[in-house]
Amino acid sequence: MKHMAKQSSLTTISYLLVGFLSLFIAFPIFILLHKQLPDYDWPIHTDRILLFVLVIVFVLLLLSLFRPIINFIFAGTLIILLYGTFTDTYGFQNLATDYKTMFSAIKYNSGDNNKMILDDSKFYYKTDILAATDYRNAEVRAFAVRAANANFKREQNLNERYRDVIQCFAVFKKINRNWNYVNDPVGQEYFAKASESVKYLAGDCDDHAILMVAAIRSIGGTARFVSTTGHLYPELYVGDKYDLERLTNIIQNGLFPIESKDQSLHYHADPDGKIWLNLDYTAAHPGGRFYAQPILGILMPK
């Protein structure tokens, strides 16, 4: 009898485990289907409730068929995650981060509407802008290092893969939270050197973009200029689509949770898949809304 009771308890735990995994897997599947299927506007969202129930039932039946194997895989996964947690490799915190990232990617997927063609043939004042971007200047470098030390140090250590990008976000935070917009002299296009702007954190959009690009480049980041009608702004290279998904989670749930709440990230993608986040002075967080379109040209500092 004791053996039968023990067997019954193990079976119950096994089915509870399958039920938990079904919910864990069903949620992202439901969100994906919810975004892809048309909304039939049934009363009290009955169509979405039915869809969620069907997804759970399907996943539950599928896992139940392979219950013994699923239990073995689950136990092995727990052991691996425990080992990863204690050895500081891939543990439970990393799993939670990847799960949040998946939700963010599903929720904020922007499609391929941000493709950019590289062209600086119509980029006005190109020579002046490049000359003002003095990223090798010691004061510019010192400014960027101080910003990296002052902001997000914990996150830099926690997300070692993206330490360099997070340090660039720290520079963005320093500049954008202190920037004061000041016009050029009347009738003159004035381009302040980055080494000048670090002293005042003031100027127009050209000066802001020059300082941002120079400061980022001074600590090993990659940034470029984007020209629109009457406006110039900087963009930061962050990697590919996979990196964008991870960084979306870091920005929205870690670095800029208030500023980016319920906001998607705005970026451009090169033909080869490189992703560039908007860092305009009008943005409250990396990847904020674009200030002006259409694009006239893109300039990469040498």
Domain boundaries, the chain: 2-90, 126-299
Predicted pLDDT at 110: 42
CA dist 197 and 211 (Å) reads 7
Average confidence score pLDDT of the chain: 81
Which structure tokens are listed for 11? 């079976």
Provide, rounded to the nearest whole percent, the portion of the chain with pLDDT above 70: 68
DSSP state of 13: H
Residue the block writes with tokens 């290092």:
145
Confidence of residue 9 (pLDDT cuts 50, 70, 90): low
Question: Residues 64-87: what's their mean pLDDT?
Answer: 71
Q: Among 286, 254, 274, 258, which residue's Cα sits nearest to residue 165?
A: 286
Extract the runs of DSSP E, i.e. beta strands, from the chain: 180-181, 202-203, 223-228, 231-239, 267-269, 275-278, 295-299
pLDDT, residue 107, reads 47
pTM beyond 0.85, yes or no:
no
Of 218 and 60, more confident: 218
Asked whether residue 134 carries a pLDDT value surpassing 80, the answer given is yes
200 vs 1, higher pLDDT: 200
Which own/partner pairs from 49-56 qualify as long-range (CB within 8 Å, at least 24 positions apart)? 52/26, 55/26, 55/29, 55/30, 56/22, 56/23, 56/26
Residue 25 has pLDDT above 50, yes or no: yes
Q: Judge whether residue 131 has pLDDT over 70.
A: yes
DSSP 8-state class, residue 278? E
**What per-residue confidence (pLDDT) applies to 143?**
98
Share of the chain above pLDDT 90, in %: 45
